[in-house]
């Protein structure tokens, strides 16, 4: 585990193995999509973001149909895209809310079948900053959904805090590495390189 929270300094390049599956997790509005776009700039790395699938599904649905009606289809399409992307090989960036442990385990299993490792980047920016981020991007997550994500991510961060203080079982054993970032260190993580040592 590498904890860069609160560490200011020069920009840095995060390095992973050539075929790594890197999951970027955090609250809605924490800057996951922004970080993924920055890291995937140039198109050399595939990034899977559920918002892209949501928008693709929305484009073929009647405007009067609320998202809640076709959400199951959008999620199924997202899971299908994830599986296909992992099986395709090569470096992969994945946008994830971080509150679904089953999702990380499933991704790790699928990556493991391909001889690949799962790595986790966890954005710990706090609820107020995440809500500000949503407003700045013109997005809105319902209070109920945000609270669910906050609880799930809060449990995960508490496990990492306990682990850092006293050892014990690794909070996410399926991850080959974990990188903790906050608003300061997130802005420092200027790029990702696949094929280097992590």
Q: What structural domains does the chain harbor?
A: 2-50+90-194 (3.40.50.300)
DSSP 150: H
**Residue whose entry in the numeric block shows the structure tokens 């484009």:** 59
pLDDT tens digit sequence for 133-190: 989 988 888 899 899 999 988 988 888 888 888 877 778 888 999 999 999 999 999 9
Q: What's residue 115's pLDDT?
A: 93
- Residues 65-77 have a mean pLDDT of 89
Q: What's residue 101's pLDDT?
A: 83
Q: What's residue 196's pLDDT?
A: 56
Average pLDDT value over all residues in the chain: 89
Q: Where are the beta strands (DSSP E) in 4-161?
A: 12-16, 21-26, 46-48, 92-96, 118-123
pTM strictly above 0.85 = yes
Contacts of 84 (CB under 8 A, 6+ apart): none
Contacts of 57 (CB under 8 A, 6+ apart): 70, 73, 74, 77
Assess whether pLDDT exceeds 90 at residue 102: no
pLDDT tens digit sequence for 15-37: 999 999 999 999 999 999 899 99
* pLDDT level of residue 109 (50, 70, 90 thresholds): very high
Assess whether pLDDT exceeds 50 at residue 110: yes
Assess whether pLDDT exceeds 70 at residue 198: no
Residue 153: HSE in the Cβ half-sphere, 13 Å Cα cutoff: 25
Contacts of 68 (CB under 8 A, 6+ apart): none
The SS3 assignment for 176 reads strand
CA distances to 72, 89, 187 from 86, in Å: 21, 6, 27
Cα 20 from Cα 194, distance rounded (Å): 7
Cα 154 from Cα 23, distance rounded (Å): 17
């Amino acid at each position: 585990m590498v904890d860069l929270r609160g560490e200011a300094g020069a920009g840095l390049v995060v390095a992973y193995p050539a075929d790594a599956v890197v999951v970027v997790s955090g609250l809605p509005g924490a800057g996951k999509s922004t970080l993924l776009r920055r890291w995937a700039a140039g198109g050399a790395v595939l990034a899977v973001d559920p918002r892209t699938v949501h928008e693709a599904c929305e484009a073929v649905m009647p405007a009067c149909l609320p998202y809640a009606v076709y959400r199951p289809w959008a999620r199924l399409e997202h899971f299908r895209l994830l599986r296909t992307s992992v099986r395709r090989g090569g470096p992969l960036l994945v946008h994830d809310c971080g509150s679904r442990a089953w999702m990380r385990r499933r991704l790790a299993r699928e990556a493991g079948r391909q001889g690949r490792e799962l790595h986790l980047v966890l954005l710990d920016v706090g609820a107020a900053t995440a809500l500000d981020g949503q407003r700045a991007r013109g997005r809105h997550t319902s209070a109920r959904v945000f609270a669910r994500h906050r609880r799930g991510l809060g449990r995960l961060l508490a496990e990492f805090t306990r682990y850092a203080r006293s050892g014990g079982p690794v909070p996410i054993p399926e991850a080959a590495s974990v990188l903790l970032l906050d608003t300061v260190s997130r802005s420092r993580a200027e790029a990702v390189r696949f094929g280097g040592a992590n």
